[in-house]
Structure 1
Amino acid sequence: MNKFFQLLKVQMMNYWLQGNAKTIRSQLLRSVPLALFILGIASFYAAMLFQGANAFVYPYLIFLAASIVMAISFFTTLSTAQATFFEFKDYDLLISLPVNKKWISFSKFLSAMVNQWIISWVVLIPVFVVCIVHYSGSFQFAVFYLLGMLLLPAVPVSLGILIALAFRWITAGTRFENLLKNILNVALVIFIIVINFSQNFGMSGRSSGSISTVRKIGPGLVNQWFFTPANWFAFGTVLKDSMQLFYLLLVAVISLGIVVTVYLKLFDRIHHRSAVTYHVKNFKLTKAKGGSQVIILVKREFKTLFSNFAASLNIFMMPLMGILAGVTICYFTPQFLVNFLISDGETILLPIIYFLTIFSGMPIYSSSAINIEGTRFWIIRSLPISERKFLMVKHFVGLFMSIIGPMVCLILCSIHFKFDASLFFTGFILVISLVVAINSFALLMNLLLPKMIYDSPELAIKKGGIGSVLGGVVPYLGSIILFVSFMKSMEDSISNKVTLMLCLAVIVAIMALVLEVILWVYGPKKIRKLG
């Protein structure tokens, strides 16, 4: 048993710190950036308070933020369960340990479960506190909520394992596996979105959502959309009979038991069956000439994003978060908040877009999925294309995917709230400069502090991908600190809020320009030598 706990410790460290190039995007999204997401929300509240926003907006936004984070957390956990349970190199390494193979499989399952619990508790405990303090939640609500925090995080892990087992067994590890998983994952995402929009938005939108109606939890508010995370984890507060709760617990335990049993029984058989057909495809660039090589790389990069959905689900969830935020603000906002936005939109909408750009951007993609570490670096060096062009393609894809969400949100808000030209131009500059600065810094950190290039495996483990971590974390934290410090220091000098945000956008644009010059004028090779 002691060996099992040691193995579990290794799995947890791998889950948080030493994920390989294929999975570290999802791992980093779960760890430090998600914690910083909560910090960013808190900073956003502070900025709103500093701007004189209505205090009743804060609990409302907590529910909205928790819904978004939990949805991302659930689907990235599901995708990671699909992507990491059949890592061949990882499995072969673990199989050499003096531990039963079933315990190795079970440790993977348990580590994913524990990490999902951590994320859920970090997000849901503040929601629980807000429900109790602001809305006078009942004792029954508190009990169901706490039980939900224990039970429901098992859902994405169990689903991910079952999906991974099913499609690996059906396809035997061929190229059709990812395609089938993509279709199912997209269907799940669409299903959850449709259910939430159809069931939980019935009393919001343009209804008379006054301040008094959100003062307490009552029968008429069970389906209010901003209570979505609370209802998820309190089972809608509809369970009245204690025997119903007992049956629910019994079903959850039996379901987990079935999942674990099936997983332990079939893992090795499925793994060895699929290993026979496992192969790695290289880029077909040898016949390409001139600029067509870059075009092929761009097509290949987007094809990889769409075909390897299980490992990069968050790359699509980030733009989706921005799009949903824009749709929510424009079409599903309670009337009292709409009135506030219309009357004081210049004050609050640009900060909203600023923070939305930060948290829907993808420094994790540029930093960790850049494919310049480990064995993939040697594949790059064998290609008939320069490393500079290869990294430019990666950088372009990261910028393109990062801009989609906040730009759609900006356009929707501009149309709905009738932004004037100066307000839209300020938001446009803000989005572009932030995205470029964040992704450029992430790539720079990865080049300075790579994970495995020229290192022995022991040194690579000790370094733990520090460049990827810094590239994913520093842009988030730095952007928050920059916003708060700049607004505090310049509020007395510049009274116009749009002008103030434009000055901030110019500062970020200068930083982005400097980073781009360092990357492409000084060059990736010279930067790597500095590290």
Structure 2
Amino acid sequence: MINIWRLTKVQLLSSFGLNKALHTRDGKERRKLLLLSISILIGVVMMAVASFGYSFMMARTFEQIGRMDLLLAIMMAVTSIIGFFTTIYKASGVLFGFKDYDLVMSLPIKTSHVVASRVLQLYVLNLFFALMVMLPAGVVYAIKVNPGALYFPFFLITFLFIPLLPIIAATIIGALISWISSRFKASRMISLILTFVVIIGVMIGSFRINGNEQVLADMSTQLADMIFKLYPLAAMYVDAVCSYEIGSLLLFIAISVLAFMLFTTVLGTRYKAIHTGLTTSHASSKYIMKPLETSSPFRALYKKELRRYISSSLYVLNTSIGMIFLLVMSISLLFISSEKLGQLIEIPQLSDYLSKLAPLFVSLFVTLSCTTSSSISLEGNNLWILKSSPVSKQNILLSKVAVNLTITMPISIISCVMLMISLRTGWIESLLLLVIPLIYACYSAMMGVIVNLKLPNLVWTSEVTVIKQSASVIVSMLIGFISLVIPLGISLILSHVNGNLILLGIGIMIMAVCSVMYRYIQTKGEQLFQAL
């Protein structure tokens, strides 16, 4: 067990760059650690407050129909779905795609211990997100129901076992996707397509369930039946936590633990064979010599950066899934009117809100699709090649910005055009809907570069560490979120003011910030890049 704990501790510390920051004597690195800690704390507080507010609003509805147990059932299902989605495309990177595979496997440690430490890393990361969803829901339930003393220990005990089965399911599906895609020439593209198919399929399935049974409009026993049929462990969880049934508690824990142990054992015995199968790719035997092409330095850098982006399925999934969600929702609004959607979810003013705040709504997905916040860190130990290349460092940074805009701008334009049609916006609203997300795309891309220059992580063994857990990614997401929450709050507070004027003012301010950041990249970018 001591080997498992040590491996897990080292992996978790290196995931967020904490290991270097804790042991360095450099004051600059310690200030970065302080900044990261403050950013994480702010992000956690914001997520917890939002989760508490959402749970409290749901609890008011469930209280009216006398089914407060539905709150914990729904939030437990939501936690499982979040764990499933976040694990499905990072499991392969954490379990099989780490760079120090040869080094770790050469250590005098059992293979099963290496596998257990990797699975525990996934478990701890999922437990953090489960905490953000389940703890506020548990507090709201305790406030509304005033349960007995057994509720609190039962709630805390079962909470620790909620992420286990979603991790197993997501890892198996993720590994199958990687294995199937590795049998084809375009393995990365096949892997991306299959993963997107699974995620979009689950989304469409949930939309169909909502529409067929009018779940959101009629909170009744049908909702409980649906959740318990789709996920039987939710019924055991509710019986254990809400009704204090010892049998359900023991059965819930036993199923979760036994399935997890069986999965880890089987994976440990076949780990090397599975790793070989997943990392083996098809190579074409035909090679045709073609004439060499020449291009400008910026274009060559752009092509190089775009190839690097496409080469990592985790990179593509983590930074483009928001844009895919935006596209799917924009298409769905063509077939269901905003008025009907507002009636379905009991928000009659939804159509007005969408018409006024659609630019900020689209911009949210744009800021969540920032590729530049990890693009410099992903260079890793190959960064010296770029630093020593005879090209402008400004072009290197702007080529990364250009790739980000390539991902966000086309989908934003297409989605905005569809929203113009479905929302029937006027010409001024349409212009703002089209322009403001594009401004935020430039803002997000340049802000990601600057943050990554300030908070780089060039020493990593798995891409997951850089793409999902690095300080620059967390800080970039937090800044992007705040840059949208403040305008949204201003729009709601000044509801009596013309919304178009507010959006116009927001657009001008973000453009001014973009010009300042562009100037900063021109003047200070090369200096920061060379200092890495």
Q: TM-score, normalised by structure 1?
A: 0.70
Matched, 1:258 2:262: yes
- 1:126 matched to 2:136: yes
| Mapping of residues 164-183 of structure 1, within 5 Å | 178-179=188-189, 181-183=191-193
- Map 1:42-441 → 2, pairs under 5 A: 71=81, 73-95=83-105, 99-128=109-138, 149-163=159-173, 178-179=188-189, 181-204=191-214, 209=217, 213-214=218-219, 218-222=220-224, 234-235=234-235, 250-271=254-275, 287-291=292-296, 305-306=309-310, 308-326=312-330, 327=332, 330=338, 332-335=341-344, 337=346, 339-342=348-351, 345=352, 349-351=355-357, 353-354=359-360, 357-362=363-368, 364-370=370-376, 373-380=379-386, 387-403=393-409, 410-441=416-447
CA contact (8 A) 1:8 1:108 kept: yes
* Cα pair distance change 1:340/1:56, threshold 3 Å: farther
- Residue 529 of structure 2 corresponds to which residue in structure 1? 528
Q: How many residues are matched?
A: 483
| Aligned CA distance change for structure 1 residues 430 and 131 (closer, same or farther; 3 Å) | farther
- 1:480 aligned partner, one-letter code: V
Structure 1 residues 497 and 120, CA gap change in structure 2 (3 angstroms): same
Q: Distance in 2 between matches of 1:171 and 1:487?
A: 46
The whole-number CA distance in structure 2 between the counterparts of 1:85 and 1:59 is 42
1:273-301, Cα deviation, whole Å (9 max, x unpaired) = 7789899xxxx99932024x766765665
1:515 shift after superposition: 1.3
**1:245 to 1:499, Cα distance in 2 relative to 1, 3 A:** same
Deviations, residues 221-265 of structure 1 (Å, cap 9, x unaligned) = 4479xx89x989835999899878766654443322221011111
Question: Per-residue deviation at 1:146?
Answer: 7.6
Single out whichever of 360-369 and 398-407 deviates more from structure 2. 398-407
- Out of 502, 516, 522, the position equivalent to 1:514 is 516
Deviations 1:428-469 (A, max 9, x none): 33212222112211101223443349x9xxxxx9xx965555
Paired residue secondary structure (2:212): coil
Query: 2:48, 2:136 within 8 Å by CA — same for their partners in 1?
Result: no
Instruction: Tell me how far 1:116 sits from its aligned partner.
Output: 0.6
1:96: Cα distance to partner? Answer: 6.0
- Residue 419 of structure 1 deviates from its aligned partner by 1.9
Q: Which runs of 5+ in 2 are unaligned?
A: 21-37, 63-70, 284-288, 461-465
Change (3 A) 1:442 1:307: closer
- Alignment pair present for 1:500 and 2:506: no
User: Match for residue 36 of structure 1?
Assistant: 43
Q: Distance in 2 between matches of 1:341 and 1:9?
A: 47
Residue 12 of structure 1 deviates from its aligned partner by: 1.6
SS in 2 for 1:187: helix
Partners of 2:298 and 2:450 in 1: CA distance: 21
Bigger shift: residues 474-483 or 235-244? 235-244
> Are 1:144 and 1:237, in contact at CA under 8 Å, matched by a contact in 2?
no
d(CA) in 1 for partners of 2:178 and 2:512?
48
Q: In the alignment, is the contact (CA less than 8 A) between 1:374 and 1:452 conserved in 2?
A: yes
Taking structure 1 as reference, are residues 3 and 247 closer, same or farther at Cα in structure 2, changes over 3 Å only? closer
The alpha carbon displacement at 1:80 in A equals 1.3
Counterpart CA distance in 2 for 1:68 and 1:425 is: 36
Farther-moved stretch of structure 1 (499-508 vs 383-392): 383-392
- 1:364, 1:442 within 8 Å by CA — same for their partners in 2? yes
Secondary structure of the residue aligned to 1:440 is: helix
Give yes or no for contact 2:377–2:456 (8 Å, CA) kept in 1: no
Greater shift, 69-78 or 185-194, is seen at: 69-78
Instruction: Quote the residue 1:7 is aligned against.
Output: 7
Query: 1:314, CA displacement in angstroms?
Result: 1.8
Partner Cα separation in structure 1 for residue 173 and residue 42 of structure 2: 28
Q: Does 1:450 align with 2:456?
A: yes
Residues 301 and 397, structure 1, Cα contact 8 Å, conserved in 2? yes
Q: Give me the whole-angstrom Cα distance separating, in 2, the residues matched to 1:299 and 1:83.
A: 24
TM-score, normalised via structure 2 length: 0.70
Percentage of matched positions with identical amino acids: 17
Structure 2 distance, partners of 1:66, 1:294, is 49
Q: In the TM superposition, what whole-angstrom CA distance separates every residue of 1:39-66 from its partner, at most 9, and x where no partner exists?
A: 27957999x9xxxxxx889989x99999
CA–CA distance in structure 1, aligned partners of residues 42 and 290 of structure 2: 41
Q: Does the 8 A contact of 2:77 with 2:234 survive in 1? A: no
Residue in 2 that maps onto 1:28? none
Mark the CA change 1:276 to 1:123 in structure 2 (over 3 Å): closer, same or farther.
closer
Matched residue SS, 1:401:
helix
Deviations 1:303-333 (A, max 9, x none): 6555532443222311123234544683644
Q: Greater CA deviation, 416-425 or 102-111? A: 416-425
In structure 2, C-alpha distance between the alignment counterparts of 1:301 and 1:75, rounded to whole Å: 27
Instruction: Name the stretch that deviates more: 497-506 or 83-92.
Output: 83-92
Root-mean-square deviation (CA, aligned residues, Å) is 5.3
8 Å contact 2:94–2:122 — kept in the other structure? no
CA distance in 2, matches of 1:180, 1:19: 36
Would the alpha carbon gap of residues 36 and 89 (structure 1) be closer, same or farther in structure 2, given more than 3 Å must change? same
* Distance in 1, Cα, partners of 2:48 & 2:440: 18
Counterpart-to-counterpart distance in 2, 1:74 and 1:147: 21
Shift of 1:187: 3.4
2:4–2:117 CA contact under 8 A, matched in 1: yes
SS of aligned partner of 2:372: helix
Kept in 2: contact 1:423–1:498 (CA 8 A): yes
Distance 1:174 1:394, change over 3 A: farther
Preserved contact between residue 51 and residue 137 of structure 2 (Cα < 8 Å): no
Amino acid at match of 1:36: G
Gap change, CA 1:180 and 1:506, over 3 Å in 2: closer
CA distance in 2, matches of 1:314, 1:365: 9
| CA deviation after TM superposition for structure 1 residue 422, in Å | 2.0
Give the 3 Å change call, closer, same or farther, for CA 72–408 of structure 1 in structure 2: farther
Range 80-89 or range 249-258, more displaced: 249-258
Q: CA deviation at 1:506?
A: 1.2
- Give the stretch that moved more between structures: 394-403 or 177-186: 177-186
CA–CA separation in structure 2 for the residues paired with 1:406 and 1:141: 47
